[in-house]
Copies of this chain bind each other. A is one copy, B any other.
């Protein structure tokens, strides 16, 4: 089909009439589909049910170091869990604290502690007039929600195909002492599925922050969440890069098994330098007597090691790959060459990112909703929910079935076309006027 932007007004009007007809038809179907959140589907969770057989009333409940996992104590995690999570992040086990079931909670906690008590002796952020964070966009809405909650000013940094625009990052970080952090999802990023290049990671490691308490908040949420066996992104390990660059304390790295075993009942971990960990533990020790070591033991025994986890993740990939492909196929078939949208083709993670024509995203999401297809709210991938171009839409293909995803994407492309045609017609009118 002809690209929309080279259609005549007459062609556009004819196109719109046809799309209006399709829209009315689709409305009659009464669909109810949700591609809004990055949730595993039940079949993925089923893959992890063996986890529940690992421990029973006959089990030895002692960890490798001889700790009774059922009792109080051992705040930073049992050894076998530390090793497992360390291997996921490709860092030494001594750089790891294993937490409870949510890495988001660990991130919140890390920001909250910096706000109330400061980072390694620096002034607590609550005592400062202004704290700023860099936010690569599009990015993860829940990161932005945390910084917004603490009144932290968010500065959007455009993403490129190799990670955040590092010229901008370097400029802000080196010149503005109010800039205390940057949110990163460095591998299979949310929502674009981009993995930061080696050069990007090295430039991160070599930052010369104006603020002593500047930290990189490295949310390695999709470290082993590949879609393919033969095509996989790799990420340079940032802790050792920072150490080499003379910035050993510059990173807090986070990960979890939420999208490996159970989303609500996995374990989370943080990796950082000994100095950062010691500072963190000063508060942790007041905050809790320890995290759920029984669940740590369950996970460590279930997977045994990273290889066990990677084998498990292949099963997940087999379940969700067809869904990604269903979406990408429809997008390519229906929108390829029309010039009204671009999208990412990630090799892992949980999302596909769609760039509509400027000023169209909100309307597309609204129209999808009208047809019974729920998408992440337009703008959610930007700080304060404000996408200045109103063009980014996050597609989360994991929860519905592949068939449902194809159906939902049919609806999506229809709405993209319709909104784009309307937009082009408006522009034509504006030009004529």
Instruction: List residues of chain B with CB within 8 A of the CB of A286.
Output: 108, 142, 145-146, 149
Which of A175-183, A232-240, A260-268 contacts the other chain? A260-268
Taking the nearest CB of chain B, how far is it from the CB of A240, in angstroms?
30
- B146/A262 in contact, CB under 8 A: no
User: With A and B bound together, what is the CA distance between A39 and B289 in angstroms?
Assistant: 11
- B69/A294 in contact, CB under 8 A: no
User: With A and B bound together, what is the CA distance between A45 and B53 in angstroms?
Assistant: 19
Interface residues of A in 48-65 (CB under 8 A from B): 48-50, 52-53, 55-59, 61
User: With A and B bound together, what is the CA distance between A273 and B197 in angstroms?
Assistant: 50
Instruction: List residues of chain B with CB within 8 A of the CB of A258.
Output: 72
- 0/1 string, A272-300, CB within 8 A of B gives 1: 00000000000100111111111100000
Taking the nearest CB of chain B, how far is it from the CB of A163, in angstroms?
26
Instruction: List residues of chain B with CB within 8 A of the CB of A264.
Output: 69-73, 289-294
User: With A and B bound together, what is the CA distance between A258 and B288 in angstroms?
Assistant: 12
In the complex, residue of chain B having the shortest beta-carbon distance to the beta carbon of A262: B70
A150 interfacial by beta-carbon distance below 8 Å? yes
Taking the nearest CB of chain B, how far is it from the CB of A295, in angstroms?
6
Instruction: List residues of chain B with CB within 8 A of the CB of A72.
Output: 37, 39, 258, 263-264
Which of A99-107, A211-219, A334-342, A385-393 contacts the other chain? A99-107
A42 interfacial by beta-carbon distance below 8 Å? yes
- B105/A287 in contact, CB under 8 A: yes
Please report the total number of A residues contacting B with Cβ < 8 Å.
56
User: With A and B bound together, what is the CA distance between A73 and B104 in angstroms?
Assistant: 13
A68 interfacial by beta-carbon distance below 8 Å? yes
- 0/1 string, A13-43, CB within 8 A of B gives 1: 0000000000000000000000001011010
A112 interfacial by beta-carbon distance below 8 Å? yes
- B70/A102 in contact, CB under 8 A: no
A120 interfacial by beta-carbon distance below 8 Å? no
Taking the nearest CB of chain B, how far is it from the CB of A65, in angstroms?
14
Instruction: List residues of chain B with CB within 8 A of the CB of A283.
Output: 149
- B50/A57 in contact, CB under 8 A: yes
Instruction: List residues of chain B with CB within 8 A of the CB of A287.
Output: 104-105, 108, 146
Taking the nearest CB of chain B, how far is it from the CB of A33, in angstroms?
17
Taking the nearest CB of chain B, how far is it from the CB of A342, in angstroms?
29
A126 interfacial by beta-carbon distance below 8 Å? yes
Instruction: List residues of chain B with CB within 8 A of the CB of A149.
Output: 117, 283, 286
Taking the nearest CB of chain B, how far is it from the CB of A291, in angstroms?
7
- A42/B57 in contact, CB under 8 A: no
- B70/A59 in contact, CB under 8 A: no
Instruction: List residues of chain B with CB within 8 A of the CB of A52.
Output: 55-57, 59, 294
A303 interfacial by beta-carbon distance below 8 Å? no
A116 interfacial by beta-carbon distance below 8 Å? yes
- A290/B57 in contact, CB under 8 A: no
User: With A and B bound together, what is the CA distance between A108 and B286 in angstroms?
Assistant: 8
A115 interfacial by beta-carbon distance below 8 Å? yes
* Among A37, A100, A104, A124, residue most surrounded by chain B Cβ atoms (within 10 Å): A100
Q: A45-B70, A100-B101, A286-B145 are in contact. Are A56 and B57 (CB under 8 A)?
A: no
Q: A68-B45, A70-B262 are in contact. Are A288 and B57 (CB under 8 A)?
A: no
8 new A-B pairs (CB below 8 Å) besides A52-B57, A70-B265, A105-B288?
Answer: A42-B71, A53-B56, A69-B264, A69-B265, A108-B288, A112-B116, A117-B149, A264-B294
- Can you list 6 residue pairs at the A/B interface with Cβ under 8 Å? A72-B258, A72-B263, A100-B292, A124-B126, A262-B294, A265-B295
